[in-house]
Chains A and B, each alone.
Chain A
């Protein structure tokens, strides 16, 4: 294997052996869980906060503005200051709201995105859990979030929230289909749902290149459908500012609002990293067929940089869409899904199945 120098499982094994040597297996297990949990919490917070900053910067430059530039160098500490502000704000209870559901909704949203990042392969051997149904797991977990959205809208006892939540429900339920079908394209190509196996299968070229036209169509479909699934512009009907003030989180304040906000950006990261993993090879360096020397040079860049580079590229694409396209109406949104994306996706799957059957793709 050419990537042994950057194999992270060496480190994890060493940590595991250290704990096993110094304490009972049960305590070692608990300690490892604690460490993994802590690392994921910190990574989650940092990525979420810096995605907010990145979004503000990207949108500003696209609109010929500077964006945040006062707090810290180039405004780098801006979102941390915002978070501190949100932490100190009052949590306003809403009269006649369903108290229990109102309080539990932000946690459901944030737990759903937290569960999803557990299965993301950040680098070789750097993955929380490597399920053998990784793609399916990601799909299943990321759609739990919409329950939180619906609960938030329902329990707020506000018309804006309810309309936003119902829109969000309709949107996520219908676009889930397209996301699944687009991911199925690569599952057919690689013959596995396990994310690590999908990445290994891209060692001689990424699926977007190896699967040529159908894979590119599937990638574009995935981008569109997943943008809709994470409720981002141009599909941000759930929180259409001009019509619904803030949609499902209108009544939330302080840290509960911050949870929704952070989960929204983390969902964007999850979707982008899934696209990078499945279509663009995840942490796998850029390899071209049997060009040995070229592949060797590419191997020197650590996998974690490849992973984050690709993810940032996909995130930039999603942001570019958001700050360019006008928002769709709810009927246009559903027309796009049921009349365009879904039929094209189904045909695409059929085409891919045929190609794989005939072996007409780069192996």
Chain B
């Protein structure tokens, strides 16, 4: 192409591509319903968080107050900043053998970075993230939580070949 034609085609291309951009922003300007941000305290009643949102760590309990944690301590080993402490206990099971059970699954919310390594590495998929995000408290000690509910017990799975099950993240979000 000769330089003069190039010069003018440059101008027309530039105007064309700029107009394309202007149309997008202009469309959003005249369609305020496209707004995606939310007014938080007002919509608190009917606020829906997303499944993948990492609120705080929970130990999933079912309706019989049973969880799947056997106290192996892998989450504690995997936690990069030591926000999980596992305290185990030993009981005698029906076969008369000593068995390890979880006594306290201690979670320091103040130290957690929500990296999710504990949830990913839990061999029995006992851990999950809840959608709870209002963490502010007046006393720092309230940020240290015991995840297993009082009186809860381990749920015994029937001996089946291990498959990678879906994490139980949706089953019980409220802690």
A residues contacting B by CB (< 8 A) are 58, 61-66, 69, 320-321, 323-325, 340
Contacts and interface: CB of A to CB of B under 8 A. Distances in A.
A65 B29 contact: no
A320 B22 contact: yes
Residues of A contacting B: mostly = loop
B151 interface: no
A62 B29 contact: yes
B26 A320 contact: yes
A64 B29 contact: no
Contacts of A62: 25, 28-29
14 contacts: A61-B28, A64-B35, A65-B35, A65-B37, A66-B39, A69-B39, A320-B29, A323-B25, A324-B18, A324-B21, A324-B24, A325-B18, A325-B21, A340-B11
B36 interface: yes
Contacts, number: 35
Nearest to B36: A64
Contacts of A61: 28-29, 32, 35
B34 interface: yes
A299 to B, nearest CB: 30
Residues of B contacting A: mostly = helix
Interface of B: 11, 18, 21-22, 24-26, 28-29, 32, 34-37, 39
Contacts of B22: 320-321, 324
B28 A66 contact: no
A66 B18 contact: no
Contacts of A65: 35-37
Nearest to B28: A62
Nearest to B27: A62
A325 B22 CA distance: 8
B37 A320 contact: no
B8 to A, nearest CB: 10
Contacts of B11: 340
A341 B25 CA distance: 25
A306 B49 CA distance: 48
B86 to A, nearest CB: 43
Contacts of B25: 62, 320, 323-324
